[in-house]
Structure 1
Amino acid sequence: MKTLAIGLMSGTSLDGLDICFAEFEKQDQWTFKILKAETIPYSKEWEEKLRNSIHISAEKLLELHSEYGFYLGKSVKNFIEKHQLQHIDLVASHGHTVFHQPQKRFTLQIGDGRAVKIEINLPVIYDFRTQDVLMGGNGAPLVPIGDELLFSQYDACLNLGGFSNISLQINGQRIAFDIAPVNIVLNTLVQQFRKNFDENGDLARTGKIDENLLLKLNSLSFYRQSHPKSLGIEWCNENIFPLFKNVEALDALATFTEHTAQQISDIFNKNKLKNVLFTGGGTYNHYLIEKIKEKTTAEIVIPEREIIDYKEALIFAFMGVLRFKNEINVLASATGSREDHSSGIIL
C-alpha cells in the first residue's frame, strides 16, 4: 500500500526550508518516488531570527518556537496549494535545531508541530530527536534508517550540509556519525566577502593552505573519539572559530576545505569504501569534491539534483511514515541510544 508524505527539513546552513512530497511503498523492500520538492529560501529576517536563536532569552525562544511553527504550517499550506496536491497521509517536520547537547540530555528543534497542525489540519509528526537523547543517544544522525532501507545499494551515504555525516554498514550494523563541520564554517567565513556561500569553492581555491592552522584543526580531540558522535554549533564556536584569529579569510577558507577533505577521505580509506553516495549543498562545492577525490580511491557517486538537495527532507518524510506505522525509525547503532525505537510526536 502506498503512503504519501511531506517531509520538512531546515538545516544548520540556513539556506531555506526544504519541502519534499514523496510516495513510499513496501513490497519486498521499501521504494520511494519524489513527486514534488522545493526549497523556500529564508527571508533576511527569518535567517537572522534563526541564526540568533541560540543567543535569545527563554521567553523569546518560546515565542520563536510558536512563530516558526506557524511559518512551517503556512509554507506547507502554500506548497500544497501551489502544486494542487491531494491524498496526503501525513506531514513530518524536523524543525530547526537551536541547541544540541546530548551529553546533558537535551536537544531543541523549534517549530511547534501543534502550530503546523493548526495551519494544515493533516496528521503531523514532529520532534524526532528528543526521545533518543533521553534514551542516552546522540539524537543524531537520524537519516541512517533511510540509508538502510532506501539507499542500501551504496557502501556508504555522505551528507555535506552544515556538518558532514556518514552512514555505513560495519559488521552487519548500520553505523553513523558526524565527521566534521562543513558549510556551517565555510558559509560563516565567506560572509566577510558579503556572500552567503562560496560558489563552487572558487574563493577557497584562491587561498593558501596554512599548515599551522591545518595541524591545529586536525589535532582536535573530536576526531579521535569513537562513534557514535555528533557535532553542534556550540562545538564550532568553542573549538573552530577561535583558531581563525590572525588568519587571512581566503587562507582560512582554503585550509578549512583541506581539513574537511582530509577528515572525510580518512574515513573512506579506513573503512575501505568502494562507493559513496554524496548529497547536501556541499556536493556543489567543486573544490571540496576535488580535494576529497585526490585523497581516496572510493568512487564518489553524485546523484541527480533532486536527491542531492532533498534526501534529508525525503528521509524525514519516510521517518514520519515509519512512526505512523509504529515501526522502528531510529537505529541505536547510529545514535548510541540503548535500543532501536520509533520516535516522533504524532498529532
Structure 2
Amino acid sequence: MTAPATTPDLLYSQEEEDLRAAVRDLLADRCDAASVLARAESGEPHDRTLWKSLAEDMGLAGLLVPEERGGQGAGHREAAVVLEELGRAVAPVPYLTSAVVATEALLACTGEEAGRLLAGLASGRTVGVLTVSLTTAPGDTPRAARVEDGALHGEFTGVADARAADVLLVPGEDGALYAVDATAAGVAVTPRVSLDLTRPVDTVTLDAAPARRVADDASGPVGRALLAGAGLLASEQLGVAEQALTGTVGYLKERKQFNRQVGGFQALKHRLARIWLDVVNLRAAARSAADALATGSRDADVAVAVAQTYASRVAVHATEEAVQLHGGIGMTWEHPAHLYLKRAKADSLACGTPGRHKERLAELVGLRGPSA
C-alpha cells in the first residue's frame, strides 16, 4: 500500500550530511583518480577492499534493509547520498547493483531463503546481482530463464557487475524468482567490452544451473528493484555531473592564457553557469525521486521517470563540457575526465534511456501521443 502524495522534502538532513562527509572522507583516502585509472587498466575493475570498507565496515550495504531483517534501517534518501558520493568518485564498487537493485528485489520476498540472502547482502559480505540487462527500464519485461527439473537454462547479456557477484537472482519463465550461486556448476560469466570501465557488464550463461526458489511471483520483486535502481541512479548521475563541474571550475581558475585566467573569459563563464543551473535542477529531481521512494509515495513512478528523463542529459552534457574545457589534457588517458564521460554515457542507457522514461511518464500521467 502506497502513501498519499505529499510535497517532497528536497533538503538534506543533518544525518544525511554527516553520512556524506564520512563517505567522502573514505573515498578521498581510498578512491583517488589515480587509483581508479590504474584499476581500469589492470583488468580487475572492482575494488574489493574499498567495497569491504563501505559495505561491511561502514554498514552501507544494509541502508535499505530494516533492522529486524539484518540491516541499518535507513532508507532511500540515505542510499541516494551514498550514490552521489560514489558518482563523484566514479567508484568501482557494485553498490547500485547489489545494495540497491538486488536488495530491493529481496525486500519484496518472504520466506527463509529470501531472509538468508537478504541478511548476507545487508552485511556486505555477499554481493548479489539481478540478472537483467543494465538497460532494462521500470515496466519492461526482462528475459527469463528456462526452468527444467529445478535447474535453470538461458543466456543474459549486459548484466552489470556479474563478475563481482556471489549470488545471482534470476527470473524464471515459470514466473518465479530464483537464486543461483555464482560459483555453481553450470554458471558461466563472460566479461564483455564495456564503455564504462568502472562498471563492467558481462554475459551470464546458465546451463542446468542448480537454483533455489526465492519467490513464486518474480514480477513484484523485479518491478520494485528496477524502479528503485532507476530512481537512485539519478543521484549517482548528480554526483558525476557535480564533480565534472567542480573539477572544471577548479582547472579554469588555475589555467592561464594570454596572461589571464581562462575562467575569466565571459564565454566560458556562460557555459559554466549553464551547467551549474542544470546541476541544481538535477539535484531537485534526484532528491524528489529518492524522497518519493523513501516515503512510499503513490507518485514514486512519476518522480523516478521525471528524474531519469532529465538526469542523463545533464550528466552527459556536464562531462562533455569538462573534457572540452580542460583542453588538450582533458583528452588524455591520464586525466580522469574520460572516466566521468564514460560513466555518464553508460548511465544514460542504464535503467532505460531518457526516451523510454519519457514514454513511461506520458503513460503514467495520461498524456496521449499524436495519432498515427
Q: TM-score, normalised by structure 1?
A: 0.34
Larger Rg: 2
- In terms of fraction of residues, the more strand-rich structure is 1
- In terms of fraction of residues, the more helix-rich structure is 2
Asked which structure has the greater RCO (Cα within 8 Å, sep 6+), the reply is: 1
